[in-house]
Each structure stands twice: as C-alpha cells, then as structure tokens.
Structure 1
Amino acid sequence: MPVAKRAAESRDANDSAPPAKKPHPFFTGAAQKALGDFQPSSPSLIHFTHLDAFSSIPAGLTSDAGSAPQNGRSKKIAISFYDLDGTLIKPRLGGQFPKSRDDWTWWHPSVPSYLQKEHEAGRHLVVISNQGDPREKIKSEWRAKLPLIAVKMPKDVPLRILAALSKNDIYRKPNIGMYEVVQQLYRFKGYDIDLENSVFVGDAAGRAGKGAQGKDHGDTDYKFALNVGLRFVTPEEHFLGHPRPHFPEPPIGFKPSKLATLSKLPHIVPSHTPIASTSSTPEIVLFVGPPASGKSSFFRKHFAPNGYQHINQDTLGTRDRCLRAAEAAVAKEGKKVVVDNTNRNRETRAHWIRLASKLDVPIRLFHFLCPIELAKHNNVYRACYAPPDDPPRDLLPMMAFTSYASAFEQPHKDEGFDEIRGVNFHFEGSEAERRRWDMYMLEPRR
C-alpha cells in the first residue's frame, strides 16, 4: 500500500485537514487594536466616541472658545463639524461606495495633521453623517469601520461621530436632530457651542460639477449648516485652501419664508361670519385641501369646542363608513359634523351634497388654500418636529400630494353648497417653533 494512502487511512475520520497558514496580522488589520465606544442612543442613531474631548481641554486655555465652566457660568467651545464620506474619508479602492469596513482612506493626506492642529487650538471635532442603507450587512460593516477610523486618528485627538440611520426622521440631515443631541450633551457638561466660531465642512453643497469634478450628490450638508446657523465650507476650501466653489446660495429648495406674502393673507375669506355655528342645529361642514394643510388643527381649534363630530377617513377607513357615521350623527343624534378629508374633486364632494339634501341640513365648505409645496413641507415638520401636545403623525408618501394635485377640481357654490370659505395657512406656535418650521426639511423620495 502506498505510503500516502496509508497516512490518509490512518487519520481519524473526524479529523480536519491541517490548518492553513494564517496571513500576518499586518495584512488583515488584526494588528490594529479597535478604539472607541458606542454610546447609548436612539435606534435610528449611531453615536460613537473616540477619547473624551472634555478631559483633553488644554489647561491653559482661557478664551471662550474652550475654557472650562467657572462660577457656574457656561463657557463656549468652538466645534469643527464634519460630514464623513467625501469629506474626511473616501473609498480606498476608488469606487463610488466603499465595499467593506477596510475600504477607506483619508480624503486627503493633509486631513490627520489638520485635525491635530484643530485639536491643539482647542476645537472639538464632531462628525455628522447620513447613513441609511437598509441592508444589515452594509450597516454592520459601516459600524465596524468607526473603530478603524479611530485607530488612524492622530495621537490623543478625540473624535465624536453621529450617524442617522433612518431616511425619514429628525436625525437625518438637513434636519438638525444630530446637532441637538450634541448641543444637549455639551449643555449637560456645562458648555455651550460657540456657533459664531464653529464650522460645518461637507461635500454635499449642491455643486453642478465641471470637468473632472462630478456633481454633488445633493445639498444636505449646506442646508444643515444653514438650519443650525453654522458657517459652511467644502472640504477643498477647508483642508486645501481653495477658493469658494460655485453652488446655489441660498440653496435650491423650499422653506416657508420663501412665501413672503403668506403671513399677510387673511386667515379666513370671507371673515365676516362665525367659523363654527354656536347653535344646536345640525349641519355638515366639508373640508377640502391637500394633506398637511392644517385641516385637523383647524377642526380642533374652531369646531371641536362647539360640539362638532369629527368624520375622518384615516380613522374610519372608507368613504362609505364616513357617510354612515355622518348620517347616524346628524339623523339619529342631531349633531353637527365636520368631514375632514381631502375631498379633492366634484365627484367626491357630490356624495356629501346628496347626504345633506337627503337629511335636509345645510352644507358648508372650507377650502384650505395651502400650496402643495408648503403642504409637503408641513408633512415633514409635523412628523419630525410637531409639539408634544399634538397627535403624532406618520410621514406621508409624496404620492399623497401629487395624486391630490392631479385630481383636484376647484370647488364652486353651484355644486350645491350653502357657503364656501377659503382658509389661508397660518402657522400657530411659539417663535422657537416657527424658526424650526422655517428650516429646510429633508426631502422624502418622491
């Protein structure tokens, strides 16, 4: 029997093959000890820290840019806020997107030394990044990349990284949820962020692209900086000293202040009669307007206190159920009702006109004159920033607005209404809430 065969036969059947020789840790990255910690955070937010920025404030620093709290007074710290991909790092293998946790390198060789200088000047370094690929493997690889970045940071230079995982919540830029997390953390530590001397560096400026320079994937970094009140620069300006590139300033996009005449319009047209009836006589009031145009808030403020029953298809499910509920409320209980649906065309409104005729009660219409772009904006605002005393609202798909606009027919009194009144959108809230409402909002997929 050949020697080779005897050796194979003498090995136990459960034995495995001889172990393969492992590559040197230098080639696998195993020689690098992972640094940093993942902090507790919302499920849709990653919060990672490398070293403690507060413990490394230079002892001799006395300016408001980084001095420690004294006599109970908060001191200010200047922060360099950075986007991550395309700003601090880029794919090492040259692709548009990284292929693994190891597929990254510094955006430019000067980045580490620049971060070192900023730290030595007393500035804190904070990354504000949008992520959100739903594939679990991609998210896992991205999380695993953060300790590898920490390993490559200059010695003793702290770094804080926040990343939004959802595409549709308060944290995703240009929304300011990640900034507010940082702001609250600093206030808890006894510091304020020195906005005047802080900066946001990002590659999403809205540049159109020219020659070898491709166009930006968006302008969310620039809008985020404007929303917070931060000076905005691109990586080329910040790290390389290049002149400011051309991009739309202010950015292309909607914010309510662009509707300059909105606040000057009368709230109700005509306004000489009461909005809600104070009598006990039954009636049907029909709302017409796009989603997020203020219909439900208008009902709660003006009609609910006067005993009107709220009829809404989002709650009842179908138009037939709404019709049956309204008929029972008017005919059996003698109530006044408000039909809070979009009621976009004559055909839809005709159902309610026939019901009013059948029950022999008056029917009035309130047309909410909210522009579609403002309604889309309100949709995001109320889903992300609505006051805690307002009912929580889900983010509606853009199709809800485009389908309304395409099917809309202007209401007319000759359809059978006893009265038609217009309602212009007026924001109701505190000045702080108004400033937040007037920010650039994230733009959900259309």
Structure 2
Amino acid sequence: MSSSNRDPKRKNDDRDEKPISPPPVKRKVQSTTTKDAVSSFFKPTSQKPPEPLTWSERAVNEDTKTSLIVGKYVPQGTSTAPSDAAPAAPKKTRIAAFDLDWTLVKSASGKKFVYEAGDWKWWHPNVPVMLKKLHQEQEFNIVIISNQGAIQLHPDRKAPSALRGRLDSWKEKIASILRQLDIPVTLYAATQFDNYRKPRTGMWDEILKDLDLTPETVHMGESFVVGDAAGRIRFLTPEEYFLDEAPREYIRSFEPGDYVNTASVNDTAEDPPFVPSSEQEIILFVGSPASGKSTFYHQHFQHLSPSYIRINQDLLKTRDKCLKVARTHLEEGVSVVIDNTNADEATRKHWVELAREKGVGIRCVVFETGGGVCRHNDVVRALNLEMNPEKRTILPNIAFTSFNSRYSPPTLKEGFKEITEVKFK
C-alpha cells in the first residue's frame, strides 16, 4: 500500500481553490454640491442674500397672543433701495387681494381639507399667468388673505403631534407656491376667530400699515378682492376673475340691515316691553348667548338700581355663586335680575325654588332672537369696545349649539307669575 505525502490538515484538492480577483477599481463620486453653495455656506451672514420669504406673527392687541401669520415674499434680486430719480406725481395705490384655498390653489389629491405640504396645484392654469401680469404690467400690490382656523400658533403640549406639526407643513406649502409665482406677495393668515378673521377688517388694517397707506391713498374703485368673503371694495369670485364667468346671484339668509331699529329712542307710542313691579321679585332671563339679555337689563333696569341688581354668571363664574349673591340681595329687600341663559327647566328650577324660599314672586323674560342674529351680535360686541365694557371675547360655536340642544321653552307650570316674550329689534 502506497503512502500519501499530503498533509492531512489540508483541504481536499486544488479544485476547491477559487481564483483571486483583483481589487475593485475606486470610482470617483461626483458631488452634487455646487461651488456657489459651498461659497454661500462659508460666507458671513451679513454678506448672504436675504431669504426671499420671511415670516412673522402679530396680535390684535398687547393683551392677546399672536393669531395672525404674515409671510412676505420678495424675489431675490429685487431692489428695495430708494431711487435717485425725481419722484413722480403721487397716485393712489391699487391693491389686488386674493383668498388662498380654492381661489389660487386647490388640493392635488381632491381632498377638501389638506395639511400635507406637497398636496396642492393651481386652481386653474390662468392663475399664475394673471397674477404675474397684475404685478408686472398693471403695477398692483398683490396680497393673499386667508382664514386658517385649523392652524394653532400656540398648541397645547398634549396636543396630537399632527396638530403641532401642521404649521410647519403649511409654511412649506406656502413657500412652494410663492417660489413658483416668484413675484412680490405678502400673505396674511388669520388663525383665530378674532378681528383678523375675514370678513372682519383686521387684516385689511395690517395691509394698509405694511404698505404705508391710508384709506384715502388707496384707489378703492380699481382695487378688488377675489375669494369667498366680500367687503366694501369690488368683489369677484374666482370663476368671475380667472375664467371670466358671469356673476351668480347670492342671497344671504341673514341680513343685518333688517334689524336696524329706525324708531326714535324717545318714541313712546308703543307700550314698554316690560314693566318693573313695586314688589320685591326675581326677574329670570331666558335666551341664547348674545340674544340681547344684558342690553335689555341696561335699558330697562339699570336706572332702577339699587332696587334691581343684575346677577350674571359670566362675571360670577358659577351658578352656586349666583344663587348665593342673589339670596343675599333678597334678604336685604332688593329685587334681582338673573342675566343668564337658563336654557332648561332643571336650571330654572333653582331660581323658582329660591323665590319660594324667600317668599317673592318670579317672572320670566324670554328673548326670541334668531341664531344668525345672536352670532352677529356676538361678533359686534366682542369687536366694539364701547359696546363691551365687560371685555367679553367671541364665543365658540359650541356655546350656541349647546344652548339650542338644551333649550326648552319656559311655561307657567314651572312656577312663574308671568312670561314676557321679547323680540330682537
């Protein structure tokens, strides 16, 4: 038997050995970073061109949080330095104001409410063409005015992350829109139900301040608004302006002018709607928020003070506090006027029982004011300091819907001596 000279620790035969490949050739990776970008990165901030889009926030007054977003877009290369040429004769400024959503842009996905930065497209191909023409050929000052109630500038820390990130996504969307347009535009977005919200005049006031204008220096006859919230200057819908369609008739369900009282304040031909009693009593108001309850008190009871004292839960905060204060006044021999909504029988029962406890009569005054009028009154009150000494703010929608869902008309069976109905006028 022949012996093998192979090392037993070696692998089988040379057939299992694979050829050794040469090392891979190193390839040069082409950088996408331009020399200008590198130069700009190391350039001092003072030497860099300004960003075309800048953001700021504003508040209605010093006592409130910011609620207006302002984005000012100035294309790079636009000169803002004063000209050495002789000043031209002063002429009035023309302003073209546009709503944003479903006027200039719409969602690319077809969704009605969009919060993704990239989900947008022009409302119509005519939009950017006509806006550029307004600026370049007709010398209009172009502004965008938009209500953005879904954006919160001061979200709670416990708010969902999607809500907290909504502002950043919206700003990305605006930046993309304005970059494509690339003309000087200032955007104003109202995020709260305050004086900035359209069709209120707060954003218009900011526009005039930013353009260093007064109402007298604006050419109101040639200025216009395109959107869905008309004001006093010429108003067009997107279909009328961009597509040259004929205007459509629009009838409002609520017309404030229908409620203007043209009678003289000294007119005594009609009987007064309510006659105070010579006996101690409780007067219980029943009515929606902003239905005219407090105004009625000031017109018919305030001059009788201290015989009639107003009890108001907006001021005292709780019903228990109202009952306590009312009980004290009744024990002192003073009549009280309960200026609350008192929407349902269960709430009114507290006051009927207090009247029985103190041995006084209780009468009810029901304010029959329509929902549209109440909401209008609420806004007028909040925005008119002379009419709002208690500085009440605009009520949320739930204040009205909650009253409507709880409301039951008062009846004499509840224990009232009489029920007087007051219509708003």
State the TM-score, normalized to the length of structure 1.
Answer: 0.66
Q: Distance in 1 between matches of 2:300 and 2:56?
A: 46
Q: Say if 1:22 and 1:317 are closer, same or farther in 2 by CA, change over 3 A.
A: farther
Distance 1:195 1:275, change over 3 A: farther
Q: Which amino acid aligns with 2:323?
A: L
Match of 1:47 among 64, 70, 83: 70
**Cross-structure match for 1:382:** 381
Aligned residue in 2 for 1:162? 188
1:175 maps to 200
Aligned match of 1:16: none
Structure 1 residue 335 displacement after superposition? 2.0
Which one is further off, 98-107 or 393-402?
98-107
The answer (yes or no) to whether the contact 2:57–2:67 under 8 Å persists in 1 is no
Letter in 2 for 1:238: Y
Residues 147, 425 of structure 1: alpha-carbon distance in 2 compared, 3 angstrom cutoff: same
2:97 counterpart residue number: 81
SS, match of residue 142 in structure 2: strand
Contact 1:186 1:193 in 2 (8 A): no
The C-alpha deviation readout for 1:13-64, integer Å capped at 9, x for no partner, is xxxxxxx987568xx9x9998403334522211112234999899x8998xx
Asked if 1:142 corresponds to 2:170, the answer is yes
- Number of paired residues? 361
Q: Which blocks of at least 5 consecutive residues in structure 2 are unaligned?
A: 1-28, 42-48, 60-65, 152-162
Q: Distance in 2 between matches of 1:402 and 1:87?
A: 30
Aligned to 1:289: 287
Letter in 1 for 2:187: I
Q: 1:151 to 1:397 in 2, by over 3 A?
A: closer
Q: How much has 1:284 moved relative to structure 2?
A: 1.7
Q: Write out aligned runs for 1:310-329 (5 A).
A: 310-329=310-329
- CA gap of 1:320–1:390, structure 2 versus 1, over 3 A, is closer
Question: Kindly tell me: are residues 354 and 160 of structure 1, through their superposed partners in 2, closer, same or farther at Cα, counting changes over 3 Å?
Answer: same
Q: Deviations over 1:104-146 (max 9, x none)?
A: 5544444444233322323211111122334232211322444
Give the stretch that moved more between structures: 354-363 or 282-291. Answer: 354-363
Q: Which amino acid aligns with 2:168?
A: S
When residues 86 and 283 of structure 1 are mapped into structure 2, their CA distance, relative to the original with a 3 A threshold, is: closer
Query: How far off its partner does 1:316 sit?
Result: 4.0
**In structure 2, do the counterparts of structure 1 residues 48 and 258 end up closer, same or farther at CA, with 3 Å as the change threshold?**
same
The 2-side partners of 1:373 and 1:192 are apart by 35
What residue is the counterpart of 2:46 in the other structure?
A: none
Q: Give how far 1:81 is off.
A: 0.8
Unaligned 5+ segments in structure 1 are 1-19, 69-74, 203-220, 427-446
Alignment partners' CA distance in 2, 1:239 and 1:273: 53
Distance 1:378 1:99, change over 3 A: closer
Residues 388 and 53 (structure 1), Cα distance of their counterparts in 2 relative to 1, 3 Å cut: farther
Matched to 2:329, the amino acid is A
Distance 1:82 1:137, change over 3 A: same
CA distance in 1, matches of 2:405, 2:119: 46
Deviations 1:228-260 (A, max 9, x none): 2233323343234x32365x513x543423558
Alignment-mate amino acid for residue 97 of structure 2: F
Give 1:339 deviation, angstroms.
Answer: 1.0
What corresponds to 1:256 in structure 2?
A: 256
Instruction: Compare 293-302 and 184-193 and name the one that shifted more.
Output: 184-193
Once residues 115 and 160 of structure 1 are traced to their aligned partners in structure 2, the CA distance between those partners, rounded to angstroms, is: 13
From the superposition, tell whether residues 269 and 236 of structure 1 become closer, same or farther in structure 2 (CA, over 3 Å): same
Distance of 1:77 and 1:53 partners within structure 2: 19
> 1:329 aligns to what SS in structure 2?
helix
Alignment pair present for 1:239 and 2:239: no
Q: 1:337 to 1:160 in 2, by over 3 A?
A: same
Indicate conservation of the 8 Å contact 2:283/2:364, yes or no: yes
Counterparts of 1:54-65 in structure 2, within 5 Å, are none
Q: CA 1:95/1:316 → structure 2, altered by over 3 Å: closer, same or farther? A: closer
Residues 165-209 of structure 1, C-alpha deviation per residue, up to 9 Å, x if partnerless? 23x22222333321232244456568533222222123xxxxxxx
8 Å CA contact 2:382, 2:388 repeated in 1:
no
User: Does residue 219 of structure 2 align to residue 194 of structure 1?
Assistant: yes
**1:174–1:253 Cα change, 3 Å:** farther
- Structure 2 residue identity aligned to 1:232: F
Letter of the 2:169 partner, please give it: E
Q: Is the 8 A contact 1:329 1:337 kept in 2?
A: yes
Alpha-carbon separation, structure 1, partners of 2:203 and 2:232: 14
Tell me whether 1:131 sits opposite 2:148 in the alignment.
yes
- Give me the whole-angstrom Cα distance separating, in 2, the residues matched to 1:54 and 1:402: 51
CA contact (8 A) 2:381 2:387 kept: no
Partner letter of residue 139 of structure 1? L
Secondary structure, in 3 states, of the residue corresponding to 1:125?
A: strand
Distance 2:101 2:408 in 1: 46
* Cα pair distance change 1:147/1:346, threshold 3 Å: closer
Match of 1:229 among 232, 237, 254: 232
Q: Is the 8 A contact 2:378 2:394 kept in 1?
A: yes
